Amino acid sequence: MPLFLVDVLPSSGEFVLGGDEARHAATVRRTRVGEQVMLGDGAGGVARCAVTAVRSGKDPALTLSVEQLMSVSAPEPRVTIAQALVKGDRGELAVELATEAGADAIVPWRATRCVARWDDGPRGAKALARWRASARSATKQARRPWLPDVREPVDTAGLAELVRGAETALVLDGEASHGIGDVALPSSAELMVIVGPEGGITGDERDAMVAAGAVPVRLGPAVLRTSTAAAVALGAIGALTARWA
């Protein structure tokens, strides 16, 4: 059953889905009368609906009859991914995979060895918009009730401040002495996972994260690309905590 995101869920009765979501439903998915769809507000609210009318063309729209409303609690612990900037579409891939794997928030990190550089002007805003669009698309693909918050980028000092505010923070490091399964993970509150760039984090960055309270961990014997590491970490966290319960 496909999921479409809306700003506000209808409480009952009929609802008309328009804009890009309707265009995707009518033109790409070729949704037909009688089919079932889900509407989500990205904050745990979901409505199961039946399609009662479809208008295609230049101004597509779906008329929906609301059949059931649901509220899905956010998983615990909440996981924030600090993702180092990645050049090209691999950054969007990292966001897509992390979203499908269950990230609750994603923080772009301007690490020292990042090849990609987001300035504070239009180019940086455009890059951030692409990450947010990737998260939105992946949320619908995965049929997730919760849309991850893709925040403004931070430098290493800003990331250290976020680490201090988290219940637990992990730095993914292939040379760490402990695996992720060796660390006590919180059952609630916020867990932060820090993913470095393709060239790895610097010693100064690792020291800054550790000083702020983060714990270096490795995911396994293989060396992962920065675009896939967060998804693998989220899978491990899902198995090691109650997030998948």
Instruction: Give alpha helix (H) positions in the chain.
Output: 19-23, 89-101, 122-142, 156-165, 203-212, 226-240
Please indicate, yes or no, if residue 215 is contained in any of the structural domains. yes
CA distances from 152 to 48, 77, 88, 130, 199 (A): 33, 22, 18, 13, 22
- What confidence tens digit (pLDDT) does each residue in 147-195 have? 999 999 999 999 999 999 999 999 999 889 999 999 999 999 999 999 9
Please indicate, yes or no, if residue 55 is contained in any of the structural domains. yes
d(CA 111, CA 154): 9
Please indicate, yes or no, if residue 245 is contained in any of the structural domains. no
Q: Same domain for 63 and 166?
A: no
- What confidence tens digit (pLDDT) does each residue in 14-24 have? 999 999 999 98
d(CA 152, CA 10): 30
pLDDT at 120 over 90: no
Give the model's confidence band at 203: pLDDT under 50 very low, under 70 low, under 90 confident, else very high. Answer: very high
Which residue, 20, 36, 71, sits at the end of a domain? 71
Please indicate, yes or no, if residue 118 is contained in any of the structural domains. yes
> Given this model, what pLDDT does residue 12 score?
85
Q: Same domain for 166 and 56?
A: no
Q: Same domain for 29 and 113?
A: no
d(CA 141, CA 138): 5
CB 78 within 8 A of CB 67: no
d(CA 83, CA 195): 5
Q: Same domain for 93 and 33?
A: no
Q: Same domain for 149 and 218?
A: yes
Q: Which contacts (CB < 8 Å, 24+ apart) does range 120-129 have?
A: 124/153, 127/91, 128/152, 128/153
**What is the token pair recorded at 21?**
């979501």
What does pLDDT average to over the chain? 93
> Given this model, what pLDDT does residue 6 score?
94
Summarize the confidence of residues 17-40 as an average pLDDT: 91
Q: What percent of the chain has pLDDT over 90?
A: 80
Q: Same domain for 57 and 158?
A: no
**CATH number for the domain that contains residue 82:** 3.40.1280.10
Give the model's confidence band at 88: pLDDT under 50 very low, under 70 low, under 90 confident, else very high. Answer: confident
Q: Same domain for 42 and 87?
A: no
Give the model's confidence band at 115: pLDDT under 50 very low, under 70 low, under 90 confident, else very high. Answer: confident
Domains held by the chain: number: 2
Tell me the residue range of the domain where 150 lies: 78-240
d(CA 8, CA 233): 32
> Given this model, what pLDDT does residue 95 score?
97
CB 147 within 8 A of CB 43: yes
Give the model's confidence band at 75: pLDDT under 50 very low, under 70 low, under 90 confident, else very high. Answer: very high
Summarize the confidence of residues 195-202 as an average pLDDT: 92
Q: Same domain for 62 and 87?
A: no
Q: Same domain for 21 and 47?
A: yes
**CATH number for the domain that contains residue 58:** 2.40.240.20
> Given this model, what pLDDT does residue 80 score?
98
Please indicate, yes or no, if residue 14 is contained in any of the structural domains. yes
Distance of CA 115 to the CA centre of its chain: 22
Q: Same domain for 58 and 169?
A: no
Distance of CA 1 to the CA centre of its chain: 21
Q: Same domain for 235 and 140?
A: yes
Summarize the confidence of residues 35-43 as an average pLDDT: 96
Q: Same domain for 164 and 105?
A: yes
Which residue, 71, 94, 115, sits at the end of a domain? 71
Give the model's confidence band at 236: pLDDT under 50 very low, under 70 low, under 90 confident, else very high. Answer: very high
d(CA 125, CA 119): 8
> Given this model, what pLDDT does residue 208 score?
96
Summarize the confidence of residues 101-111 as an average pLDDT: 97
B/e letters for 57-91, b = 16+ CB within 10 Å, e = fewer, are eeebbbbbebeeeeeeeebbbbbbbbbbbbeeeeb
Which residue, 50, 71, 92, sits at the end of a domain? 71
Residue 117's region, left for phi above 0, alpha for psi from -120 to 50, else beta, is beta
87 three-class SS = coil
